Structure 1
Amino acid sequence: MTTSSRLPTGTVTFLFTDVEASTRMVQAAGDAWPGLLSQHDRLLRDAITGNAGTVVKTEGDGFFAVFPSARDAVAAAADAQRSFASHVWPDGRRLTIRIGLHTGLGMLGGDDYVGIDVHRAARIAAAGHGGQVVLSETTAVLVERDLPAGLALRDLGAHRLKDLAQSETIFQLDIAGLDAEFPPLRTLDAVPNNLPLQVTSFVGRREDLARALSLLEASRVLTITGTGGTGKTRLALQVGAEVGGRFRDGVFFVDLSPTRDAALVASQVLKALGGAAASGRRPPRDALLERLGEREVLLILDNFEQVMAAAPLVAELVRVSPGSRFVVTSRGPLRITAEQEMPLEPLGVPERLDPESAAGFDAVALFIERAMAVRPDFALTPENASAVAELVRGLDGLPLAIELVASRVRLLPVPEILARLDLASLGSGSVDLPERQRTIEGAIAWSHDLLSAPVQGLFARLGVFAGGADLAQIERVCSDVDVDVLTGLAELVDQGLLRQVPGGPRARFRTLHVIREVALRRLSASGSADAVQRWHLEAFVEWAEEIAPHLLGADRKDWLDRFDADHDNVRSALDWASAHGEADLALRLASASWRFWQSRGHLLEGRRRLESALGLAGGAPANRARALEALAGVCWWQGEIDACVAPYREALRIQRELGDPAEIANALYNLALAESVVGPGTAGADDARRDVYALLDEAEEISRRRGDENGLGNVAWGRGIAISYFEDYAPAALEQWRSSIEHYRRAGNDFGTGWGMFEVANFAVRHDDHETARQYLAEGLELFARHRDVSAVVLLIALAAGLAQAMGDDSRAARLAGASRALRDASGTNVVDHGMNRLPDFTLGDPEHLTGELAAAYREGTEMDFDAAVAYTLGGAGPAGDPA
């Protein structure tokens, strides 16, 4: 009887075990280890077979067993732990094991089980600790009403497992008389991370994974190289999942596939780390180097071949962050000193194949896994084994090609796929590509050629989207295709040429990087690339202009998040507009984007893009005026108030010529605001004051005539700034700011409301009205934090630091000052240091002058992320942290 003939199929429960800290135990036990392992094996086999289980296989100190009954599997796990706890181990060398259970579909591929449920069971086991039994929700539901005596279930919550699939709710089996308290599970939730959810399991590559982990232990930078489609990204993500928990400050994935500009790499890394992209007077590079200096992270930089000019940045990160490690995927090495290159070869393929030896070839295992995903009853049989072997061999063992072809199992048996797929033609892609890359292109072409002509046209057009797109955007850009777009997208998903992005409030789709490259080549060959690129630009101009008014309202976080998801599309559109001299569209898109750039910390990039758009020849005056106002706004937030005056003045001149009252009132307010700050420091301060008040009076008259509450809020806020500068924070300024809050609230402008609150709190701190300052500071911070407006939060936390010092709590003040400085450096919000916001008596903001406990408190503050800093600030503002 073969092994497979005695293994149960259908619904089964898988059990995995391994010894806790076995490597150290082997070293410590020396010659005694084989004896210990023998006792370990006997205890486990007795527990498994004594409860109707079957040992599928053993590997080192790990057991894989299967049970037809979930209750029997749970009983076996409990018996095993009791046996290990009561066993008298020689020389006191007690072994402890972790056990994981999961119930799912038992499907055989040769002598072994295949499918996602086996991987899930193994990952659940890997999350546990010695002496612990953990099980999936599926298993828990089956046994919760029929548990053996002395056992109970404890819900440990939802966790992301190391296979990077979707979250799994995990339970612990409490066993009477044994330990029930364990450290947190070893899952991705244990450390900060942004690792993307994967819709497929990690198959094969176990030797490659072990090698990558070993190389990463010995080197600072591991660069996984290879042609597109070899699985570099998937391997890098698995490395992150395996070892990310060892890095105190987390593991972070940086997708560089939408990026062509090496200058943006630092911003993309900062964003991945959970902060805003640095800007302002400090370039993103400088902020990133400072941020990583004291941290221990694992950073995964994906698709680096497009931004090779940024290789020196990686070398600098290695230098300043000795506790960090870097995994890079690229088609070629970075050629920096700390780098260890690991070329990734295709998966192993067989010369011939019989069902019994299937598990020995990664390429076959991958084909079976992906085929079962689209057809659960698929199995390797004597009838199809040779066809599968020939198929994966003809595909060169390239994972992407295998996955694309495996999707056809839904419709055709493998021999028929092989008959229809001309393996000799798979290398017929672009002749300037490497041979294996041509195989990928050929596999994509095979799927592509099965599409109708209209869906082929849709596929080519999808190449213009950087970082994916939602359904509405795709429909807007691809409206000329002669097929229902949603139907076409479904067909592309079925063919493996498009992926639906999991989660999120809208249906969103994206292509893999190598598939997008093929789509762009198809688009270029069609002769319609420029037309489609222009439609893409026009679509995102209209989209950004639709979103822009919402970036100030009550739901601004949702709109800012929506903009963030398509920032790469905006970048791509602006690049194309600049390269093709599309002045009006570039001006419109850049000016509509500036509030996003300001709120989410892309000020340096925003300024560069606005200056680029304004440097294009032509452009309607109205569009140039809005872009000038946006440029001045960016300069304001960078703390360069002097640089605001000229563009604001030019914008007002243009708006007066155009004659739109609303635009004129806004331009009057903007110029008055800048001159309020600059004017008092000039020789003609009295003239400047008269000019500022005249500008504000005119703006107020227009806004009142139009019944514009938002405009009136602007005027009141600006008048408060003018009074504070020209009249040294006279009480009249407070009246104006309170008035601005009322106008903004009636207008539904959360952004303005928050800034009115900030100014009232700022005034109150300066006048020792601590209770008013506490109230307005807390309300303003809660409002801006809800929208994740990092620029605003920087100023409010800095103000909270000043309030804490004024109330006698220097330690809290130093901690808040550190938190504000860290967020300022990450966002480029240098306006926080301008005189209008800096409290004159605050002395704890310069770390160079702090010593002892205050220096330590400041350092603690710099370690806080956005959420921690907000929570700490709202936790209290008085002495000894009294509640706010």
Structure 2
Amino acid sequence: MTTTASRSRRLPTGTVTYLFTDVEGSTRLLEAAADRWPALLADHDRLLRGAIAEHGGTVVKTEGDGFFAAFSSAVDAVAAAVDAQRALAANEWPDGLAPSVRMGLHTGLGLLGGDDYIGLDVHRASRIMGSAHGGQVLLSAATAGLVEHELPGGVAMRDLGPHHLRDLTQAERIFQLDIDGLDRAFPALRSLEAVPNNLPMPVTHFVGRRRESVRVRELLESSHVVTITGTGGTGKTRLAIQVGSEIGARFRDGVYFVDLAPVDDPAVVPSQVLRSLGEDSAPGNRPPREALLDRLADKEVLLILDNFEQVIAAASVVADLVTASPRSRFLVTSRGPLRIAAEQEMPLEPMDLPSRHDPGAAADSDAVALFIDRAMAVRPDFSVTSENVASVSELVRGLDGLPLAIELVASRVRLLPVPEILARLDPARPGTGTVDMPERQRTIEGAIAWSHDLLDPPVQELFARLGVFAGGADLEQIERVCDDLDVDLLGGLAELVDQGLLRQVASPGGRARFRTLHVIREVALLKLEASGSGEVVHRRHLEAYADWAEEVAAHVMGEARSEWLDRFDTDHDNVRTALDWAAVHGETDLALRLAAASWRFWQSRGHLYEGRSRLETVVSLEGGEPQHRARALEALGGVYWWQGEIDRCVPPYREALVIQRELGDRGEIANAIYNLALGQSVAALASGVTDDLRREVYGLYDEGEAIYRDLADENGLGNIAWGRGQSVSDLDNDSRRALELFHESIAHYRRAGNEFGMGWGMFEVAIFSARLDDIETSWDYLERGLDLFAPHRDVSAVVLFLSLAATLALASGDEERAARLAGAVRGLRNSSGAKIVDHEVTRIRDLTIDELDPTREDLAPLYESGMAMDLPQAVAYALGRDPTGDMRSGPRP
């Protein structure tokens, strides 16, 4: 923007109403107008300036076809906007060349920085205008409240409700002016609600980088992949989020942000992307890469892949996505390019710096504007004055215009005047970075080190230790890793937050949670390793999460399953980091404990593929206490079971039982007995039943039941009854006795408070009731089971119930309903990896949904619509509500 050279009056202060305008589609209009554009723009400017001046407003700035004006009166500002729209509509423009102008107004505090306005209210007005369409006039709630009883004649005001606007953390209630004779019907506002998205809500608003934002948008028009490159701290992530919020509405299927900062393994990238797309789980035994490509096929999304430099080997995933989803666009942030054919690199340089020769124009510099904005966040009365402008300019130049460095240093304004900050920050000493690092990277590490060096030594050590946490941590885990430090932990964390080195973030359940920015975490890790205590701290981190995971595992079968599974999901990256470190450093016992405690999460939330890989890794490590190895073997057998590879689960189950018998813990022996007996009986469906096998299996159940009865263990008795029911069916083909045993298992599980077990008892009652032609009871228990599992987002369980629902629909002759449900089963099975759904043990004998031909001309569209359902939609449909929300008479055919 250029500042108006002369003004007829001083800029108003106090309560000010800001008006922003611009021409929608001006680039296309310019191309269409060609040599007539200057005359069109002159007429546009004349009409806007006239309306603004007539109602006592002052033009603050112009940029191209955009105006920024200020008014002392909200009533006058609204009148100016209305008159301007009427004048534009009444003007005689050449055919097809009438400019369509959008306008936004907001009333707030008129804070001046030099000869320009600064502060959040200016940005709010601009964002309101940015959400409008050509010909539309939008008002904030603040402005609407001041003018609702003094609107110009022929004007009404319409409440459009609350909207999240880019850069603003709080939703803004928006009002539209309906002007007689002009258009009143406009598309939905360009707010974040317009399309599906998971864009992080910024804690600060976007400052500067207008040229860069425009350039990224232009590149995305012509390139499938745009990679914003630059050193740490240049603001790559913030720019990408900004662009996503500006253009996300153009992508039919949404805009999604993928945080790759916690990921070190390129193989995990597809799982991380799937999770960000809203999948409840990563794929199971189906490779995540294949699942991701299928998920985005024929979609039109903007996918923002943040912090790609540490997983650069996964660049081929992006290349494959370009082929699979040609209508999508991929915006990547990385310290270096991906080097794939579809990529257009856009290096991001530091912010524009103020001229040394024109101190008066310092506020026009992006770097200074950012410093002012962040300084005002900690000290609202801060402003650039003739006394400090030279120091501010020198300070941002000394930081090379790096946004993160500027933000960190700006936080010191709370304590020190700018000249003192400058005196304490020696630009000639770039910091603690190694000499082979780029200069700017050393500068930002110097800025971080400067904030760090102001801390007391114990708080410095706390900062270094926080580097071990990937994706943040709850206060509970931070205490475990840092409780031996000579520091008041809460006070130290508060000091780090004040210094901008740590952030407090939202956590499921409202617990206190903290995380560092990725680049700051890297510095913390460097300091941790330099301290010589890195191995000790990483081991404390591993110990903390092994204990934590075992605590969580004790709850994921009970009534509050969803809450505990969500807690695990939040710290999954810490579990991954801990397991990686344990494997490399030979911490076998802790690795076995952590992996074994994690397996029910991996199974319930569909991370079976990753769980299998990690469990196979830890059981291959040398050493380890036998009891920990036995539990990890049981977990590995469980993963094999859920992946439908029943034969493979028997050897680890058998080895675990041998270990437990040697150790002598009767409860653990009984659990290992249950696992092996169940695995052997189900495996016999393929290998064949023998009398010796029958005697061995029933002998194991008898032994296990005797132990559990002696221990008065209702949960264990539920397991034995459930497993015996399977075996009676598999080995003796006695469905009626099996049904009785499954009812017994539900009663035991209910007394034990085990919702997970109750749900599986209900599934088997539903299956065996159907096998005995009691369809009514089958439906009853199917509904009960779904009511237990669906709220916990237990995708592996839900997919089995949906398969049963599809089978029952097919048995009743409702092929259309069966086709939709079969499609849902296939889609969720692929995303979760729960291939147990394909095994005979989960079927109604002599009837499966495999008999349905999904390629049949009349069924194919229904099958495909089912595949497109997410978990809540599929459950709702199975229980009687189709994906559009229309109620059926009931779920039963």
TM superposition score normalised by structure 2: 0.93
**Which residue of structure 1 lines up, in the alignment, with residue 794 of structure 2?**
789
Q: CA RMSD in A?
A: 2.7
Q: 2:367 aligns with which of 363, 366, 372?
A: 363
Partners of 1:15 and 1:814 in 2: CA distance: 55
1:438 CA displacement: 0.7
Q: Which secondary structure does the structure 1 equivalent of 2:429 belong to?
A: helix
Alignment of 1:410-421 (within 5 A): 410-421=414-425
CA contact (8 A) 2:248 2:255 kept: yes
1:359 CA displacement: 4.0
Partners of 1:243 and 1:406 in 2: CA distance: 30
Q: 2:441 aligns with which of 437, 440, 445?
A: 437
Partners of 2:734 and 2:303 in 1: CA distance: 47
Q: Which secondary structure does the structure 1 equivalent of 2:326 belong to?
A: coil
Change (3 A) 1:729 1:56: farther
| Aligned: 1:818 with 2:823 | yes
Structure 1 stretch displaced more, 103-112 or 870-879? 870-879
Letter in 2 for 1:673: L
**Which residue of structure 2 lines up, in the alignment, with residue 397 of structure 1?**
401
Letter in 1 for 2:70: V
Query: Size of the alignment, in residue pairs?
Result: 884
Letter in 1 for 2:625: A
Partners of 1:391 and 1:230 in 2: CA distance: 16
CA contact (8 A) 2:274 2:282 kept: yes
**Which residue of structure 1 lines up, in the alignment, with residue 664 of structure 2?**
659
1:199 CA displacement: 0.8
**Which residue of structure 1 lines up, in the alignment, with residue 648 of structure 2?**
643
Q: Which secondary structure does the structure 2 equivalent of 1:551 belong to?
A: coil
**Which residue of structure 2 lines up, in the alignment, with residue 800 of structure 1?**
805
**Which residue of structure 2 lines up, in the alignment, with residue 195 of structure 1?**
199
**Which residue of structure 2 lines up, in the alignment, with residue 235 of structure 1?**
239
CA contact (8 A) 1:774 1:877 kept: no
Partners of 1:87 and 1:5 in 2: CA distance: 29
**Which residue of structure 2 lines up, in the alignment, with residue 274 of structure 1?**
278
1:854 CA displacement: 1.2
Cα deviation digits, residues 352-371 of structure 1 (max 9, x gap): 26564234311111111111
CA contact (8 A) 1:109 1:358 kept: no
Change (3 A) 1:533 1:427: closer
| Aligned: 1:621 with 2:614 | no
| Aligned: 1:320 with 2:327 | no
Letter in 1 for 2:555: H
Partners of 2:770 and 2:42 in 1: CA distance: 72
Partners of 2:112 and 2:35 in 1: CA distance: 38
Structure 1 stretch displaced more, 390-399 or 679-688? 679-688
1:122 CA displacement: 1.5
| Aligned: 1:184 with 2:188 | yes
1:713 CA displacement: 2.2
Partners of 1:846 and 1:394 in 2: CA distance: 72
Change (3 A) 1:217 1:639: same
Cα deviation digits, residues 424-454 of structure 1 (max 9, x gap): 1125532232211111111111111111111
Change (3 A) 1:723 1:225: same
Letter in 1 for 2:869: M
Letter in 2 for 1:523: L
**Which residue of structure 2 lines up, in the alignment, with residue 546 of structure 1?**
551
Structure 1 stretch displaced more, 422-431 or 452-461? 422-431
Change (3 A) 1:743 1:100: farther
Letter in 2 for 1:490: A
CA contact (8 A) 1:603 1:638 kept: yes
Q: Which secondary structure does the structure 2 equivalent of 1:619 belong to?
A: coil
Letter in 2 for 1:882: S
Cα deviation digits, residues 324-344 of structure 1 (max 9, x gap): 211121111111111111111
Alignment of 1:579-728 (within 5 A): 579-728=584-733
Partners of 2:710 and 2:234 in 1: CA distance: 66
Q: Which secondary structure does the structure 1 equivalent of 2:428 belong to?
A: helix
Q: 2:527 aligns with which of 522, 525, 528?
A: 522
1:148 CA displacement: 6.3
1:90 CA displacement: 5.2
Change (3 A) 1:173 1:742: farther
Change (3 A) 1:760 1:427: same
| Aligned: 1:883 with 2:890 | yes
Q: Which runs of 5+ in 1 are unaligned?
A: none
| Aligned: 1:375 with 2:382 | no
TM superposition score normalised by structure 1: 0.94
Partners of 2:100 and 2:109 in 1: CA distance: 29
Partners of 1:148 and 1:738 in 2: CA distance: 74
Partners of 2:882 and 2:306 in 1: CA distance: 43
1:380 CA displacement: 1.2
Q: Which secondary structure does the structure 1 equivalent of 2:345 belong to?
A: strand
1:143 CA displacement: 4.9
1:166 CA displacement: 4.0
Change (3 A) 1:880 1:560: closer
Q: 2:391 aligns with which of 387, 393, 413?
A: 387
Partners of 2:265 and 2:352 in 1: CA distance: 36
CA contact (8 A) 1:645 1:671 kept: yes
Structure 1 stretch displaced more, 454-463 or 351-360? 351-360
**Which residue of structure 2 lines up, in the alignment, with residue 535 of structure 1?**
540
CA contact (8 A) 1:689 1:726 kept: yes
Q: Which secondary structure does the structure 1 equivalent of 2:61 belong to?
A: strand
Letter in 2 for 1:119: H
Partners of 1:408 and 1:5 in 2: CA distance: 36
Change (3 A) 1:881 1:527: same
CA contact (8 A) 2:13 2:111 kept: yes
Partners of 2:352 and 2:231 in 1: CA distance: 16
Letter in 2 for 1:610: L
**Which residue of structure 2 lines up, in the alignment, with residue 567 of structure 1?**
572
| Aligned: 1:134 with 2:134 | no
- Identity of aligned pairs, percent? 68
Change (3 A) 1:777 1:366: same
Q: Which secondary structure does the structure 1 equivalent of 2:468 belong to?
A: coil
1:465 CA displacement: 0.7
Change (3 A) 1:305 1:729: farther
Alignment of 1:298-337 (within 5 A): 298-337=302-341
Cα deviation digits, residues 265-301 of structure 1 (max 9, x gap): 1111111111144443321122122222222222222
1:385 CA displacement: 1.1
Q: 1:460 aligns with which of 464, 473, 476?
A: 464
Q: 2:15 aligns with which of 8, 11, 36?
A: 11
Q: Which secondary structure does the structure 1 equivalent of 2:842 belong to?
A: coil
Structure 1 stretch displaced more, 770-779 or 558-567? 770-779
CA contact (8 A) 2:155 2:180 kept: yes
Letter in 2 for 1:801: A
| Aligned: 1:473 with 2:480 | no
Letter in 1 for 2:666: P
| Aligned: 1:833 with 2:821 | no
Change (3 A) 1:552 1:359: same
Structure 1 stretch displaced more, 782-791 or 450-459? 782-791
1:728 CA displacement: 4.2
Partners of 2:827 and 2:587 in 1: CA distance: 38
Q: 1:286 aligns with which of 283, 286, 290?
A: 290
1:727 CA displacement: 4.4
Q: 1:119 aligns with which of 108, 116, 123?
A: 123
Q: 1:261 aligns with which of 259, 265, 272?
A: 265
| Aligned: 1:756 with 2:796 | no
1:478 CA displacement: 0.8
Partners of 2:150 and 2:195 in 1: CA distance: 35
1:500 CA displacement: 1.6
Letter in 2 for 1:194: N
Letter in 1 for 2:610: E
